[in-house]
């Protein structure tokens, strides 16, 4: 066997583990010697490697004749016949194979294999652990057990870390875990800088003691419940249903449905939060659901397909994007909440349009809109309307309804005058040789930074003034 493709591997024993391993190595372009006593197994594996041999026995002479000594790595995949496994492992080591790995099915077998110089793996045990951790932890992605107490795990970054730097998160001090890599969209970064800010979709690879891993994942679990309660339940659902509840005389069935949903969701959220905040959640739950004796004795929330409303969720998510877009546009233009403006949503999707119209009365107060018009084209929308792009739709707000042109021109003129004074002051100080030569360098740099900032702000103000005067 010629080793012309890098590291060569020998796989001895083609059970489920050995066969899967040999195929994986061969498909990765590696040279593989496959050995088994079964002609049928050898016949099947020859689709992946030309070096597949039937061996009635696994004596040292047989292994040498096949060429196992030419391999860089030999994997002994014999778990059931302990004596054969041990003797074959000894033969591979004595033949001079640099790296011998042996499969074990018990701690006793593993101890013997390790004693004679092999690296030991426990495929069934490790897979069971992997599956168990995956089943009991929503945050678990993958792990490597280094010992009984140390692991490497992949953990998705929660909202509590997004936007924070590695230094600010202080994971090493708080949880005694070391970040060894950060993955995002199939990119892996192993050079972790303290000023790196976590992003949505990041997966951190951490190493540390198992008990510290569990504490960290427990913190993530708490944060997920917290994020749901505040970001989804309070910020969005409660705000969206206020109109229905406050105007129950218009549609009492809608108001009652909203109240039932509020009570049910809050009750289940309290149940999920109870392990972390037992006393507070118990008190709130007893007032919310007085007919039940105790939160501690209540049933844990169960997932139900009947409560999944994909269309409603899609419509709500799109409306949230519309509201966010209008809010951001108003904030950028310094429009006070008291100034109402008509909002146009242009969308060709009929189902989305119907959903937008159903949410009109609920959504208008959240974006300070006097009216929400949903239509299929731009008919009746002014050319100078502020445009906001959201998924599957475009949002327009007439500029004249957002801004009092004369008032805004007056405000920006005053801002221009103020910036002119600040720029002249900074220029005066930086042109003063005594100040530049005698003042601390930090103070000089500070003034330079101020000048740069004020200059940029002045450019923006002038640009805005010109646009307003032209559109007046």
* 143: β partners: 153
What's the pLDDT score for residue 10?
95
Residues 56 and 106 in one domain: yes
Question: Which range has the worst mean pLDDT, 3-12, 203-212, 366-375, 394-403?
Answer: 3-12
CATH number of the CATH domain containing 197: 3.30.70.1450
The answer to whether position 141 is within a domain reads yes
What's the pLDDT score for residue 185?
77
Model confidence at 440, pLDDT cuts 50, 70, 90, reads confident
DSSP string, 52-105: EEE-S---HHHHHHHTGGG-SEEEE---S-HHHHHHHHHHHHHTT-SEEEEE-S
What's the pLDDT score for residue 139?
52
Please identify, among 260, 275, 305, the residue that sits at the C-terminal boundary of a domain: 305
Per-residue pLDDT for 74 more than 90?
yes
Model confidence at 2, pLDDT cuts 50, 70, 90, reads very low
What's the pLDDT score for residue 264?
93
Question: E strand or H helix at 244, and its extent?
Answer: helix 239-246
Residues 197 and 226 in one domain: no
Per-residue pLDDT for 52 more than 90?
yes
- Which one, of 344, 338, 456, lies nearest residue 404 by Cα? 338
Residues 105 and 54 in one domain: yes
Kindly state the DSSP code that residue 139 receives in the 8-state scheme. Answer: S
Question: E strand or H helix at 254, and its extent?
Answer: helix 252-273
More confident residue, 383 or 425: 425
- Please say whether the dihedral angle defined by the alpha carbons of residues 450, 454, 457 and 463, taken in this order, is positive or negative: negative
CATH number of the CATH domain containing 238: 1.10.730.10
The answer to whether position 2 is within a domain reads no
3-state secondary structure of 12: strand
Answer yes or no: are the C-beta atoms of 115 and 29 closer than 8 Å.
no
Per-residue pLDDT for 141 more than 60?
no
b/e map 11-40, b = 16+ CB within 10 Å: bbbbbebbbebbbebbeeebbbbbbbeeee
Model confidence at 157, pLDDT cuts 50, 70, 90, reads confident
What's the pLDDT score for residue 3?
42
Residues 34 and 65 in one domain: yes
- Which one, of 293, 296, 381, 312, lies nearest residue 345 by Cα? 381
What's the pLDDT score for residue 472?
58
- The Cα 33–Cα 290 span in angstroms is 70
Residues 350 and 450 in one domain: no
Max avg pLDDT among 403-412, 416-425, 436-445: 416-425
What's the pLDDT score for residue 258?
92
Residue indicated by tokens 């905040």? 277
Per-residue pLDDT for 210 more than 90?
no
The domain tally of the chain equals: 5
- Which one, of 341, 352, 425, 435, lies nearest residue 390 by Cα? 352
What's the pLDDT score for residue 86?
92
Question: Which range has the worst mean pLDDT, 91-95, 362-366, 401-405, 419-423?
Answer: 401-405
- The Cα 345–Cα 364 span in angstroms is 12
Residues 187 and 227 in one domain: no
User: Which residues make Cβ contacts (< 8 Å) with residue 425, sequence separation at least 6?
Assistant: none
Mean pLDDT of the chain: 85
What's the pLDDT score for residue 242?
92
Tens-place pLDDT, residues 239-292: 999 999 999 998 999 999 999 999 999 999 999 888 888 889 999 999 998 888
Residues 425-448, mean pLDDT to the nearest whole number: 86
Residues 282 and 318 in one domain: no
CATH number of the CATH domain containing 409: 1.10.287.380
The answer to whether position 395 is within a domain reads no
Residues 62 and 97 in one domain: yes
Domain of 64? 8-121
- The Cα 110–Cα 127 span in angstroms is 16
Per-residue pLDDT for 180 more than 60?
yes
Residue 425 CA from chain centroid, whole number: 47
């Amino acid at each position: 066997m010629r080793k012309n493709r890098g590291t060569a591997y020998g796989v001895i024993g083609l059970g489920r583990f050995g066969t899967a391993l040999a195929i994986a190595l061969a498909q990765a372009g590696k040279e593989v010697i496959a050995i088994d006593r079964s002609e049928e197994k050898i016949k099947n594996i020859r689709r992946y490697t030309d070096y597949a041999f039937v061996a009635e026995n696994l004596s040292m002479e047989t292994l040498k004749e096949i060429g196992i000594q030419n391999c860089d790595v030999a994997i002994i995949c014999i778990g059931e016949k302990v004596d054969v496994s041990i003797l074959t492992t000894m033969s591979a080591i004595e033949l001079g194979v640099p790296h011998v790995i042996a499969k074990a099915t018990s701690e006793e077998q593993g101890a013997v294999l390790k004693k004679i110089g092999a690296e030991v793996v426990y495929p069934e045990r490790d897979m069971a652990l992997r599956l168990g951790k995956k089943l009991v932890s929503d945050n678990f992605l993958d792990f490597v057990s280094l010992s009984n107490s140390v692991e490497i795990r992949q953990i998705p970054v929660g909202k509590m870390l997004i936007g924070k730097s590695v230094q600010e998160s202080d994971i090493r001090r708080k949880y005694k875990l070391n970040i060894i890599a950060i993955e995002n969209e199939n990119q892996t970064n192993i050079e972790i800088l303290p000023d790196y800010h976590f992003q949505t979709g990041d997966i951190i690879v951490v190493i540390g003691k198992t008990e510290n891993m569990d504490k960290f994942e427990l913190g993530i679990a708490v944060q997920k419940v917290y994020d749901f309660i505040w970001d989804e339940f309070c910020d969005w659902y409660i705000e969206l249903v206020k109109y229905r509840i406050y105007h129950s005389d218009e549609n009492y069935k809608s108001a009652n449905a909203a109240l039932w949903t509020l009570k049910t969701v809050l009750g289940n959220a309290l149940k999920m939060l109870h392990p972390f905040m037992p006393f507070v959640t118990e008190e709130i739950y007893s007032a919310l659901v007085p007919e039940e004796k105790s939160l501690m004795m209540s049933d844990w929330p169960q997932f139900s397909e009947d409560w999944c409303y994909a269309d409603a969720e899609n419509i709500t998510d799109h409306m949230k994007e519309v509201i966010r877009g209008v809010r951001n546009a108003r904030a950028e233009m310094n429009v006070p909440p008291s100034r109402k403006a008509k909002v146009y949503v242009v969308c060709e999707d009929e189902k989305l349009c119907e959903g937008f119209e159903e949410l009109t009365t609920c959504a208008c107060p959240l974006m300070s809109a006097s009216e929400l018009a949903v239509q299929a084209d731009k008919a009746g929308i002014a050319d100078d309307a502020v445009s906001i792009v959201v998924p599957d739709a475009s949002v327009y707000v007439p500029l004249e309804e957002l801004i009092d042109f004369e008032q805004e021109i007056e405000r920006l003129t005053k801002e221009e005058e103020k910036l002119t004074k600040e720029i002249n002051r900074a220029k005066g100080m930086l042109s003063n040789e005594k100040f530049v030569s005698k003042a601390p360098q930090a103070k000089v740099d500070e003034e330079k930074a101020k000048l740069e900032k004020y200059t940029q702000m002045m450019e923006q103000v002038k640009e805005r003034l010109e646009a307003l005067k032209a559109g007046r």
